[in-house]
Structure 1
């Protein structure tokens, strides 16, 4: 179930901004929305209506930039990113190639062939995890 957050959270209206390059070399802003938590699908819809899409993390630099922005107490332990398992592989929803990967080591390794957890999340520890798409988490748009 989607959680719209408390009135106090809604008043905070926190957005953190950074810069990233898309595959065409155009600078885009990396935005973190932690005012509201959403399912992966609702986060994708929100991003497409307000910005462009959920962010892709195509390099260690972008991964570290996003990680710095989620290190706040009022942000969920993991946040949605634009990674989705479709068919037989993980894809970035914006079309960026999946050349850089940062999956959590030693945890559940079902990301290679997930049955239920088919959406990608970035943890505050800096790794990616496959997660249940129906969970409500904060998310990163750009």
Structure 2
């Protein structure tokens, strides 16, 4: 006859005695081994995940420290640009050095002949300066633009058969372009005293950037 063994489990004051034979003990042992294997694998996965989280935390900490450093640098740059030092301290202006203040905007004229660019290149230059090609919203701004240099890109080009500003709005006064048809691949330049002219966007011209002026 088979040899039987007893297992005793107690729950508080209640104890239960299980009588198991050798076959059942073998099954219980295998089940425990499987559980141990699974728990070991889970522990390994959790350890690996913990290490990854530590690395991510370290990387995020470095990114935050770098970002904070950049923000401080940018803040200092802004202070130096808009509030340059002089003998009497700092004198703050609405536009940074090299930009012209008009109404609520700042304008930067880029007219050095060696640095002429295509319309896209000119716009990219403006974006690097936290600005964009100028958008003219009324006749007053148009007159100011024409008092600038002899021909420069502005933020107006043909898109889908219409003259569109870079802010997505349509040109409302078609007479500003002398009723020229809007053909894709063409952009607008402003000429001193001669209004606006249609030019191929890949031509190289001077350009003007615009950004909002600060309230000081």
1:47 paired to 2:129: no
Residue of structure 1 equivalent to 2:89? none
1:60 paired to 2:60: no
1:87 paired to 2:155: no
User: Secondary structure at the residue paired with 1:112?
Assistant: coil
Residue of structure 1 equivalent to 2:177? 103
Deviation beyond 6 Å, 4+ runs, structure 1:
none
Contact 1:58 1:96 in 2 (8 A): no
Separation in 2, partners of 1:133, 1:97: 18
Separation in 2, partners of 1:136, 1:84: 15
Match of 1:130 among 198, 202, 205: 198
Separation in 1, partners of 2:136, 2:99: 16
Deviation of 1:55 (Å): 0.4
Q: How many corresponding residue pairs?
A: 111
Contact 1:78 1:138 in 2 (8 A): yes
Deviation of 1:126 (Å): 3.6
Query: Residue 39 and residue 88 in structure 1: after superposition, are their counterparts in 2 closer, same or farther (change >3 A)?
Result: same
Query: Residue 137 and residue 89 in structure 1: after superposition, are their counterparts in 2 closer, same or farther (change >3 A)?
Result: same
Structure of greater relative contact order (alpha carbons < 8 Å, 6+ residues apart) = 1
- Provide TM-score, normalisation by structure 2: 0.46
Unaligned runs of 5+ in 1: 1-13, 21-26, 71-76
Unaligned runs of 5+ in 2: 1-96, 211-216
| Cα distance per residue 1:4-54 (max 9 Å; x no partner) | xxxxxxxxxx9451324xxxxxx2212211132111010011011113110
- Provide TM-score, normalisation by structure 1: 0.68
Query: Residue 51 and residue 19 in structure 1: after superposition, are their counterparts in 2 closer, same or farther (change >3 A)?
Result: farther
Larger radius of gyration: 2
Residue of structure 2 equivalent to 1:139? 207
